[in-house]
Structure 1
Amino acid sequence: MSPPRKLCVYCGSGHGRNPAYKAAAQRLGRAMAEAEIGLVYGGGSLGLMGEVARAVLDNGGHVTGIIPEFLANRERMLTDVNELIVTADMHERKMTMFARATGFVALPGGLGTLEELAEISTWAQLGQHQKPIILCNIEGYWDPLVTLFEHMRAERFIREGLEFGMDVVKRAEDVIPAFEYRVKTTRELVPEQPLLTKM
């Protein structure tokens, strides 16, 4: 049975240089399964994508993989998931991931991860959703992006009325508490969320 709460995890299809990234993906997957929070992700078996998905499955959790047809072979589609959705293109993939998710998490990754994070944050900025967005800043991987957000705010390109909620956590173990807190406060209709909340 599909759990009511699901986190969409954006992350790399490679492991990256630092072994801490792989370990974080595995810890996040285990924590999600233990909290009965389902995983929505890009459907591949490689890199951090595969690590987090297998960790959820290995600990009895639910995984929904969503992958466009043209990437099924390139990213070696993980077929052992509970639910596998093959889309026509990237746009349909991203919209399906958004529809299935209760919140979003970005682990370390490359351009694709950055693009997905930027898009979901832009939708929040434009008032299209209030779902939690969490940046998992493992060993400072996302520090340059956090600095860029702060620079945008200082230069008033992210200004009053264009704020969006994003939590920045340093450890995979902090993702679930941040997610649950945001879900709770959103339901209580807290009017504003800070641009960046570092935990």
Structure 2
Amino acid sequence: MAKSEKNHDFFKNDAAFDRLYVERLQRLSSRHWTPLEVAQRAAAYLGTPGGRVLDVGCGPGKFCIAAAHYQPETKFVGIERRADLVRTARRVARRLNLNNATFIDGNFINTDFTPYSGIYFYNSFHENIDLPCRIDDTIEHSFDNYEAFRESLYGKLSQMPPLTRLATYFCPDQQIPPNFKLVGSTMSNLVLFWQART
């Protein structure tokens, strides 16, 4: 049975996909994990044959896993500070036999963005300033963290080579440096497509 046929049922809608996760993560999905429609549209923009896309703050991997399903010729890499969510992401990717979705247990601050042809960002820093809606208490949350992460992302994006693609979801424009130009949008401007200037 082909991969797309075997996995198809999980990609019918968000509720079907979220059943791949334990109940606690299912409850967090509508606020914290990328919806499938967003993943499909962002992956269509970011995906290129042989390309590599980094998801900054990937949680349990929903964007990378969905994107890997929709764009099988692109490698999607998620980085996440919570080791338990990284383990979950790896388990789900294995279950779906998606070898083009991989996950790094770590902090994006220590990651070199330049090997990636595309970046995906769903404002994963926001939980540092919206404490009632944080994912859990396993990591430190603070306004200082929010500022440090925001500044680091801005700096890393500023160093990306021309034509690098960036897709953002629920992300303030001021987090995007001027070397990126807006080239498109979808879903009432909730999903924005950017490209590094030549």
Q: Which category describes the TM-score, using the shorter chain as reference length?
A: 0.3 to 0.5
Q: Higher RCO, 1 or 2 (CA under 8 Å, sep at least 6)?
A: 1
Name the TM-score, length of structure 2 as normaliser: 0.47
* TM-score, scaled to structure 1: 0.46
